[in-house]
Chain A
């Protein structure tokens, strides 16, 4: 008998057997269903988190580097980082002059200051001092008014461009351009507003005030280490740019050979790896729970299949006497196990998708489930059935026909 006939006949018998024991079938599917539901909900939430985080990272710019005294993500001795020589405008100039792959180079300094406008106040808002090319590095657009100019910087003008959240909060219903904004103790004239960029890991990028670099160093913290913002034309040039920057800065800072860099080149995707480290462990635990649930479901399948084999020993004997091969019996019982599991997988997929949707409704997490995940859920359940059905099916096939026929 051919394998396809084995499968067709096996499927028919399996279906008949499941329908004959409806309650038992349903109870068995529940175990697998819960496992699949747990896994799918976790996968769904994970995919949602990843998708939203990727979008957030993209807003940071995929072709930018930030050279700073300290790395964004620090492991080890903070004292060593603190005692590094500051980066200065001279370093910015060296980079601008020597870095081939770098397109735009801007200095950045920042500090948190309190803001006030006509009784509206915002405390501890990021105030960044930079130059006219900053939008090309940061990816911000000017929506109203203008951005800072070289003249603003040369003359240490008290002018500011404000982020969307600052504009909305301090200037409700008012065009901020032309208004006088108090930054710390200094009155600044708002000359422009920035387009909205959204949040990264819950902190708004739009809560920002941008002022001329020399205005910042003149009126706020003068002797602060400068961050060098660099953009490259294409993301593929990032590595090349990083190599060039390391060479230029080591020379400029006279770092002795053999000593490690006393500065850090930061990339937005470093945040991604940090994020993955933080959340990876969480996912691992959650997935572990899902798999254990599936394991329990699988053992349930195995148990019920062993019961089924025992109940149907005589049937197996009859089939063997009439010419069923061992393989035919194996296929029959494997299909039965897989069918129960797949039904459980289908139920579990429904519940899991519902659960993921519920999570996205009641929490800020966006749980998206890709269509392939559904296939994965059902397929995975069937696989569990396959694995846990092997032993009972092998037992059924290895029964001695004479003994089997003798059974009551």
Chain B
């Protein structure tokens, strides 16, 4: 198993009141799977993604990534895991505005200490994979939304992580551009990448081989995408 989440809870204390973003989530994801996390807004999808991505630590439960218990890791080790094992793709792209597409894609490799020449070659290859080789020297502001998201995907791919984590990757795109991005994910899944994709759109989740439905921080459905995506959250 690549991802083993067991009874994960994440609580926030806001003004003396406890908000349960996750209330005991158990999900396992194997290598090469493509899993959609669906649920209404506020159901805890992003929180779960942050936990899986080692950006956030759960207040309860155990999380094993590639067999390692994440709770035992230091802040530096978590940074290294994010660098090597996780490729993030965000709804609002999260590109550095002052850097070129190429420099953005190189960034995780910089933090891994890859020498400049190799870094550049790998970044170029990743940009070619998302069909943006001709926009390498452009800055994010000079690119369309779809192109920006493809730069972000290239950045995630360049690091050759075990896991691609996408949080509403089509949320800021029109439907045609969104469709391009979904096709790209299908392609990446075909190449053997493991993908966890957060979305609130049942239509998108339905296209995934597997979907997990969250409601109020709990898993209320887990099965083939086409079944779970439109399912009633309260069976």
Contacts and interface: CB of A to CB of B under 8 A. Distances in A.
Interface of A: 1-2, 5, 9, 16, 20, 314-315, 317-328, 401-402, 405
A300 B164 CA distance: 43
B55 A321 contact: yes
Contact of B90 (A326, A327, A405): A405
Q: Is the interface of A mostly helix, strand, loop or mixed?
A: helix
A326 B108 contact: no
Contacts of A323: 79-80, 82-84, 108, 111-112, 159
Interface in B153-167: 155, 159
Nearest to B155: A322
B185 interface: no
Contact of A405 (B94, B98, B107): B94
B110 A5 contact: yes
B53 interface: yes
A318 B151 CA distance: 14
Determine the main DSSP class of B at the interface with A.
Answer: helix
A210 B56 CA distance: 92
Contact of B112 (A1, A16, A314, A405): A1
Contact of A324 (B50, B79, B90): B79
B17 interface: no
Nearest to A327: B76
A324 B111 contact: yes
Interface residues on B, range: 20 to 34
Nearest to A12: B110
B98 A16 contact: yes
B174 interface: no
Given A314-B94, A323-B108, 11 more contacts: A2-B113, A9-B110, A318-B95, A318-B107, A319-B111, A320-B55, A321-B94, A322-B82, A322-B88, A328-B111, A405-B94
A401 B155 CA distance: 18
Given A325-B76, A325-B79, A319 B107 contact: yes
Given A20-B98, A405-B90, A405-B94, A321 B53 contact: yes
Given A321-B88, A322-B82, A402-B50, A315 B113 contact: no
Contacts of A1: 111-113
A2 to B, nearest CB: 6
